[in-house]
């Protein structure tokens, strides 16, 4: 029974957030939203403990589809980075800003880049592609993320500075077009680099928030050196090129870990 404590704890944390936001914002949407996400993540953790091989993918689909279709297309909430800038400029602490605060800015201090492994609707599609582990060395293209990050900020700032009317409608279309572009670029990069996660490594603007915050993550995969037999399998199966055998925070690509647990599942010595 003790092994099921983590999913129960996760559910309790999400329920606490759900009830707090419901009461403070006087909006029952938050109760539904965070309860749904908490249940999905707890279910995934439960399945992982039961050694279900698709546990992560199930959470990714449950949360990713909910955010993309229900929040994005039906509720017309732009949860992309330009939506975050938009709500920040208008001074509204609502869905997109709360989402960024929880999942991408402060949450990573606890669960690192769990968002990237279990909830992102872009990676949800990219993970279906054939290149699950990179076959080539990582390229020196991380600078692209700063260009896309700046472009998203300049785009929204320009709308405000030019006093463009009906920005909310523009944000909805920016969400649709932005996602279409992300999927097209992500799929093209996956095939070009033979790496499903090339988009995450080089292009995604959100990593500008995620990487520095996840450096301090409480939840990390660490290696028991006493058990490790140096077979190198963890490095071969890692989609993000993390040197998980090094326990220091400065380990190679340490801020790239998406907690997918592929290394843990494949370690023959149970050292991770």
Which residue, 37 or 221, has its beta carbon nearer to ligand SF4? 221
Which residue, 7 or 178, has its beta carbon nearer to ligand SF4? 178
Is 68 within 8 Å of 123 (Cβ atoms)?
Answer: no
Q: Where are the alpha helices (DSSP H) in 91-133?
A: 95-99, 108-111, 114-118, 121-126
Binding mask 243-262 for ligand SF4 (x = CB under 6 A): -xx-----------xxxxxx
Report how far residue 130's alpha carbon sits from residue 257's, in angstroms, rounded to the nearest whole number: 20
Single residue of 10, 81, 156, 242 touching ligand SF4 by CB under 6 A:
242
Single residue of 233, 247, 251, 252 touching ligand SF4 by CB under 6 A:
233
Q: Where are the alpha helices (DSSP H) in 139-194?
A: 144-161, 167-193
Please state the closest distance from residue 38 (CB atom) to ligand SF4, in A: 20
Report how far residue 228's alpha carbon sits from residue 15's, in angstroms, rounded to the nearest whole number: 38
Single residue of 122, 148, 179, 196 touching ligand SF4 by CB under 6 A:
122
Give burial (CB, 10 Å; 0-12/13-18/19+) of 37. buried
Single residue of 18, 59, 190, 238 touching ligand SF4 by CB under 6 A:
238
Is 242 within 8 Å of 253 (Cβ atoms)?
Answer: yes
Query: DSSP state, 2?
Result: G
Binding mask 188-217 for ligand SF4 (x = CB under 6 A): -----------xx---x-xx----------
Residues that bind ligand SF4 (CB under 6 A): 116, 120, 122-123, 199-200, 204, 206-207, 221, 223, 228-234, 237-240, 242, 244-245, 257-263, 267-269, 271-272
């Amino acid at each position: 029974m003790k092994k099921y404590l983590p999913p129960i704890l996760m559910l309790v944390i999400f329920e606490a957030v759900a009830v707090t936001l419901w009461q403070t914002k006087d909006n029952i949407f938050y109760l539904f939203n965070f309860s749904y996400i908490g249940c999905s993540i707890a279910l995934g953790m439960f399945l992982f403990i039961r050694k279900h091989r698709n546990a992560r993918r199930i959470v990714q689909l449950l949360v990713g589809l909910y955010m993309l279709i229900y929040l994005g297309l039906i509720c017309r909430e732009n949860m992309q980075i330009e939506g975050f800038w938009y709500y920040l400029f208008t001074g509204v602490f609502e869905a997109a800003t709360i989402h960024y605060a929880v999942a991408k800015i402060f949450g990573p201090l606890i669960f690192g880049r769990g968002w990237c492994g279990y909830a992102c609707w872009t990676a949800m599609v990219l993970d279906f592609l054939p290149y699950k582990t990179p076959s080539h060395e990582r390229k020196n293209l991380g600078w692209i993320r700063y260009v896309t990050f700046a472009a998203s900020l300049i785009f929204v700032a320009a709308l405000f500075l030019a006093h463009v009317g009906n920005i909310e409608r523009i944000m909805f279309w920016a969400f649709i077009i932005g996602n279409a572009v992300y999927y097209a670029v992500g799929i093209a990069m996956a095939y070009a680099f033979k790496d499903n996660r090339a988009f995450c490594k080089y292009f995604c603007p959100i990593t500008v928030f995620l990487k520095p915050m996840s450096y301090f993550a409480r939840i990390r995969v660490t290696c028991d050196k006493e058990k490790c037999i140096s077979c190198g399998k963890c490095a071969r199966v890692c989609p993000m090129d993390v040197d998980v055998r090094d326990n220091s925070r400065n380990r190679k690509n340490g801020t790239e870990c998406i907690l997918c647990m592929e290394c843990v599942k494949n370690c023959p010595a149970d050292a991770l």
